[in-house]
Chain A
Amino acid sequence: GAGVSQSPRYKVAKRGQDVALRCDPISGHVSLFWYQQALGQGPEFLTYFQNEAQLDKSGLPSDRFFAERPEGSVSTLKIQRTQQEDSAVYLCASHGGLSSYNSPLHFGNGTRLTVT
């Protein structure tokens, strides 16, 4: 596709529910990043994939957060037993990888998650 696509754009979940957020990166981009952005803050790193391999998940705030990219393209960020502090915008970004070293991340429009 032309850009990074994320769905849904908005998600309201009751505390304790599980949610799944989808990211469709730019075609051919090997690297995919997930970020969390709280109000008034910059994007905070959650996890990173190179193709289907999750190379870094050090930013995931708890074991309730899980990400996968089974075929090296579409990725899903899953949050189990959502809590109010999970309310944020979740941004996905893709990158061409080491072959495009000095090139920018391209972001989707994000999913705004509100936990009530």
Chain B
Amino acid sequence: DQQVKQNSPSLSVQEGRISILNCDYTNSMFDYFLWYKKYPAEGPTFLISISSIKDKNEDGRFTVFLNKSAKHLSLHIVPSQPGDSAVYFCAAFDGNQFYFGTGTSLTVIP
């Protein structure tokens, strides 16, 4: 049973606009959430994270929002750049294991 879900397999956004990637989870024991970016033939690279005691964390163009009541996580990228085109995975940690979504492929159109 998938505990972390990314329901959009793909997303296309115009350069300069905002990209919003969504993630839902089912386990209320998750207390740390992460986003990873993956280019072809490379391993996932850590992008940004958020602890469950916060509802927002920002790092440059990347902001992660956490809505614990809705068990929903989102990543905002603004402004989007062509180099942001990659597969993005959300992940959640329960103190023992990390659980990953199936990924969203983002294409930023120049």
Contacts and interface: CB of A to CB of B under 8 A. Distances in A.
B46 A106 contact: yes
Nearest to B41: A109
B24 to A, nearest CB: 14
A105 B96 CA distance: 12
Q: How big is the A interface, by class?
A: 20 to 34
B85 interface: no
A44 B101 CA distance: 9
A101 B99 CA distance: 15
B102 A40 contact: yes
Q: How big is the B interface, by class?
A: 20 to 34
B45 A107 contact: yes
Given A45-B97, A56-B97, A102-B49, A107 B103 contact: no
Given A42-B101, A43-B89, A102-B51, A107 B32 contact: no
A108 B46 CA distance: 11
Contacts of B44: 43, 91, 107
Contact of A45 (B41, B49, B51, B99): B99
A112 B43 CA distance: 11
B41 to A, nearest CB: 7
A93 B46 CA distance: 11
Contacts of B49: 102, 104
Interface in A33-79: 33, 35, 40-45, 48, 56
Interface of A: 4, 6, 33, 35, 40-45, 48, 56, 91, 93, 101-102, 104-110, 112
Interface of B: 4, 6, 9, 32, 34, 36, 41-46, 49, 51, 89, 91, 95-103
